[in-house]
Chains A and B, each alone.
Chain A
Amino acid sequence: MNTMFFIMTVASLILMTVVSPDSAFSIMINGASGAISLALKLCAIYAIWLSVLDIMQKIGLNRALDRLFSPVTKRLFKGEDEKTRQYITLNFSANLLGMGSAATPLGIKAMEGMQDGSDKATDNMILFMVINATSIQLLPATIIGLRSQYGSASASDIILPSLIATLVSTVCGVLLAKVFALPSKGKKKESASLPQPLKGATFK
């Protein structure tokens, strides 16, 4: 991430200094103030979803959802506890329905549950991120709305190709993540005879 950030900013800034040096700084401020307005908007959305989530948790809806989806989530995310699985299920549900901003706080909670205390992402965390990053949205509602706004005669004819494309990317992502996870799995088996630190101890 550091290298990537460095290359992007330095290359852009060099180009700016050559082309239009006086607007370089104002663009950076633009980016930062964009972040501030985004953060305020996110704060509003998260406030509502985290509140609804709190009620859902207290009435046992999360547990019911987990029971429904645990055959899938247990197989995909081996070794995660029930609470983490609940967040994973809720995150996927929100994503499927196209509520990306509601999915984010759930995803963050799921990530917190999956960390093992080291500074390296675990295989499950990566798999989880890859599934989120390749999109599992069923209905691209925003894009369809935008298309009809620009006078499309059949704005919803992108649903099928979107669904297929998103399926291809997600399946490819999951398979690749599982393949890349193989070597570290082998390592884990070798060290299984050694006493391992309690995983639960690092949970927040």
Chain B
Amino acid sequence: MKYVLPVFIIAVLIAGYVKKVGVYDSFVEGSRQSVKLVLEIFPYICAVLIAVELFSLSGLNAYFSRFLAPVFNLLGVPTELCELVVIRPLSGNGSIAILENIYKTYGADSYIARCGSVIVGASETVFYIATVYFSTTKVRKLRYAIPISLFSCYLGAVFACLLCRFI
């Protein structure tokens, strides 16, 4: 698996050179596009990260998770994982930090840790994708995109907890 990436890039470079593509020009062009793209998406990332940082460090995240815990419990998600489930769609780094904490507290092979791993491994940072993917378009109304994504991710999380009991 670890050879895939370098071999792929080598193959593309060689194929490009053989087909007389200006490989250096392509890298200059790619880097230029990258700067432009990052400048365009930066304001969105910045605004979202300010809100997420506030939400997780103010402790509101913990209150919110405790408030939602009975609902998740009913669906088979353990209380210990509620904070993770709440932060997962908001922040990738945040959920990794919580997951590390879970590993430390309960051990990496416990049921809680396995559930948490599957929840993080089988979902994405929904709000980050929602802001960044639409950032260069004129679209400001996402209609039903976020509710569907969140619902599906939570269904995946509930399913993950169920699966970890048997597998």
Which residues of A are interface residues toward B (Cβ below 8 A)?
1, 5, 8-9, 11-13, 15-16, 19, 23-24, 27-28, 30-32, 34-36, 38-39, 42-44, 46-56, 58-59, 61, 97, 100, 104-105, 107-108, 111-112, 115, 117-121, 125-126, 128-130, 132-135, 137, 139-144, 146-148, 150-155, 157-158, 160-166, 168-170, 172-173, 176-177, 180
Interface string of B18-57 (1 = CB under 8 A from A): 0101010011011101110110011001111111111101
How many angstroms from the CA of A104 to the CA of B126 in the assembled complex?
A: 13
Given contacts A108-B133, A168-B155, contact A46 B37 (CB under 8 A): yes
- A-B pairs, 7 with minimum CB distance: A51-B30, A140-B121, A169-B156, A31-B53, A173-B152, A152-B108, A50-B30
Are B38 and A46 in contact (CB-based, < 8 A)?
A: yes
How many angstroms from the CA of A28 to the CA of B53 in the assembled complex?
A: 7
Are A9 and B122 in contact (CB-based, < 8 A)?
A: no
* Chain B residues with CB below 8 A from A107, complex form: 129, 133
How many angstroms from the CA of A30 to the CA of B144 in the assembled complex?
A: 31
* Chain B residues with CB below 8 A from A180, complex form: 143-144, 148
B118-167 residues with Cβ-Cβ distance < 8 A to A are 118-124, 126, 129-145, 148-149, 151-153, 155-157, 159-160, 163-164, 167
Are A173 and B148 in contact (CB-based, < 8 A)?
A: yes
* Chain B residues with CB below 8 A from A150, complex form: 100, 103-104, 108
* Chain B residues with CB below 8 A from A13, complex form: 54, 58
Q: Which applies to chain B's interface (DSSP): helix, strand, loop or mixed?
A: helix
A113 to chain B, nearest CB (A): 10
* Chain B residues with CB below 8 A from A125, complex form: 134, 137, 139, 145
Number of B residues, CB within 8 Å of A: 89
Return the chain B residue nearest A147 by Cβ. B108
Are B139 and A119 in contact (CB-based, < 8 A)?
A: yes
Cβ of B85 within 8 Å of any chain A Cβ, yes or no, is no
How many angstroms from the CA of A44 to the CA of B27 in the assembled complex?
A: 12
Return the chain A residue nearest B44 by Cβ. A35
* Chain B residues with CB below 8 A from A48, complex form: 30
Are B54 and A119 in contact (CB-based, < 8 A)?
A: no
Are B49 and A157 in contact (CB-based, < 8 A)?
A: no
How many angstroms from the CA of A169 to the CA of B108 in the assembled complex?
A: 24
Given A16, A23, A137, A177, which contacts B148 in the complex, CB threshold below 8 Å?
A177
Are A108 and B41 in contact (CB-based, < 8 A)?
A: yes
